[in-house]
Chain A
Amino acid sequence: MPQVPLVEMKGITKRFPGVLANDHVSFEARSGEIHALLGENGAGKSTLMSILTGLYRPDEGQIFIKGKPVQLKNPKEAIGLGIGMVHQHFRLVQPFSVAENIVLGMKNLGLFIKKEKVEKEIEELSRRFALKVEPKAKIWQLSVGEQQRVEIVKMLYRGAEILILDEPTAVLTPQEVRELFKTLRQTANQGKAVILITHKLNEVMEIADRITVLRGGKSVATVNKVETNKIELTKLMVGREAMLVVDKKPPDLGPVILQLENVNCLSDKGYPALKDASLEIRGGEILGVAGVAGNGQRELAEVITGLRRVTRGKVKIGNKDYTNVSPREVIEARVAYIPEDRVGMGLVPNLNAMENVILKNYREKPVCGPLFINGDYVKNRARQLVDDFNIKMTGVDKAVKLMSGGNLQKLLFAREVSCEPQLIVAVYPVRGLDVSAIEAVHDILLAQREAGVAILFISEDLDEIFKLSDRIAVLYDGQVMDVLPTGKTNVEEVGMLMAGTRPEREVG
Chain B
Amino acid sequence: MDYALVTAVLAAAIIAGTPILYAALGEILAERTGVLNLGLEGMMLVGAVSGFMATIATGSHWMGLLAAMIAGGMVAAVHAVLTITFKANQVVSGLALTIFGTGLSGFLGKKLIGIPAPSTFSKVSLPVLSDIPFLGPVLFNQDPLVYLSYLLVPLMWIFIYRTNPGLKMRSVGENPGAADSLGVNVFLTRYIYVIIGGIFSGIAGAYLSLAYAPTWLEHMTGGRGWIAIALVIFSTWNPARALIGAYIFGGVDALGFRLQAMNIGVSSFFLNMLPYLFTILVLIFATMQTQRNRIGAPGALMLPYDREDR
Contact = CB atoms under 8 A, between A and B. Distances in A.
A touches B in complex, CB < 8 A: yes
Nearest to A85: B181
A111 B165 contact: yes
A104 B168 contact: yes
Nearest to B161: A113
Contact of A94 (B174, B179, B184, B307): B174
Contacts of B164: 103, 109-113
B183 interface: yes
A105 B162 contact: no
A55 interface: yes
B32 to A, nearest CB: 12
A270 interface: yes
Interface in B153-177: 162-165, 167-168, 170-171, 174-175, 177
B181 A87 contact: yes
Nearest to B174: A93
Contact of B174 (A75, A79, A96, A154): A96
A16 B308 contact: yes
A104 B164 CA distance: 8
B294 interface: yes
A76 B167 contact: no
B175 A93 contact: yes
A105 B299 contact: no
Contacts of B163: 111-113
A503 interface: no
B261 interface: no
A100 interface: yes
A323 interface: no
Interface in A96-140: 96, 100-101, 103-106, 109-113
B133 to A, nearest CB: 37
Contacts of A110: 164
A91 B182 contact: yes
Contact of A113 (B162, B171, B185, B294): B162
Contacts of A269: 294
Interface in A395-412: none
Nearest to B178: A91
Given A110-B164, A113-B162, A75 B181 contact: yes
Given A92-B175, A270-B294, A53 B181 contact: yes
Contacts of A362: none
Contact of A92 (B178, B185, B310): B178
Given A75-B180, A105-B179, A93 B165 contact: no
Contacts of B178: 90-93, 101, 104
A501 interface: no
Contacts of B177: 91
Contacts of A100: 167
A55 B174 contact: no
Contacts of B171: 93, 96, 104-105
Nearest to A80: B183
Interface bracket on A: 20 to 34
A55 B167 contact: no
A95 interface: yes
B167 to A, nearest CB: 6
A113 B170 CA distance: 14
Contacts of A93: 170-171, 174-175, 178-179
Given A16-B308, A104-B167, A94 B181 contact: no
Interface in B113-162: 162
B166 to A, nearest CB: 8
Contacts of B167: 96, 100, 103-104, 113
Interface string B97-114: 000000000000000000
Contact of A104 (B182, B294, B299, B307): B182
Interface in A50-82: 53, 55-56, 74-77, 79-80
**Residue of A16, A76, A85, A103 with highest tally of chain B CB at under 10 A:** A76
A486 B165 CA distance: 55
Contacts of B170: 93, 96
Contacts of A112: 162-164
B179 A104 contact: yes
B173 to A, nearest CB: 9
Nearest to A89: B177
**Residue of B167, B174, B181 with highest tally of chain A CB at under 10 A:** B181
Interface string A349-374: 00000000000000000000000000
A105 B184 contact: yes
B296 to A, nearest CB: 10
Contacts of A75: 180-183
A44 to B, nearest CB: 12
Contacts of A111: 163-165
A85 to B, nearest CB: 7
B183 A91 contact: no
B28 to A, nearest CB: 16
Contact of A105 (B168, B307, B310): B168
Nearest to B296: A95
B182 A79 contact: yes
A55 B175 contact: no
A79 B165 contact: no
Interface in B175-211: 175, 177-185
A80 B182 CA distance: 10
B184 A104 contact: yes
A85 B182 CA distance: 10
A56 B182 CA distance: 14
Interface in B259-310: 294, 299, 307-308, 310
Nearest to A90: B178
Contacts of A87: 181
**Residue of B167, B170, B174 with highest tally of chain A CB at under 10 A:** B167
Contacts of B299: 94-95
Contact of B308 (A56, A80, A270): A56
Contacts of B294: 269-270
A87 B175 CA distance: 14
Interface of B: 162-165, 167-168, 170-171, 174-175, 177-185, 294, 299, 307-308, 310
Interchain residue pairs A-B with the least CB separation, the first 10? A76-B183, A105-B182, A91-B178, A105-B184, A91-B181, A109-B164, A93-B175, A93-B174, A105-B183, A93-B171
21 contacts: A56-B307, A76-B183, A76-B185, A79-B182, A79-B183, A91-B177, A91-B181, A91-B182, A93-B174, A96-B174, A104-B168, A104-B178, A104-B182, A104-B184, A105-B168, A105-B171, A105-B182, A110-B164, A112-B162, A112-B164, A154-B182
Given A103-B167, A105-B171, A105-B184, 14 more contacts: A16-B310, A56-B307, A74-B183, A79-B182, A87-B181, A93-B170, A94-B299, A96-B171, A103-B164, A104-B178, A106-B182, A111-B163, A113-B164, A270-B294
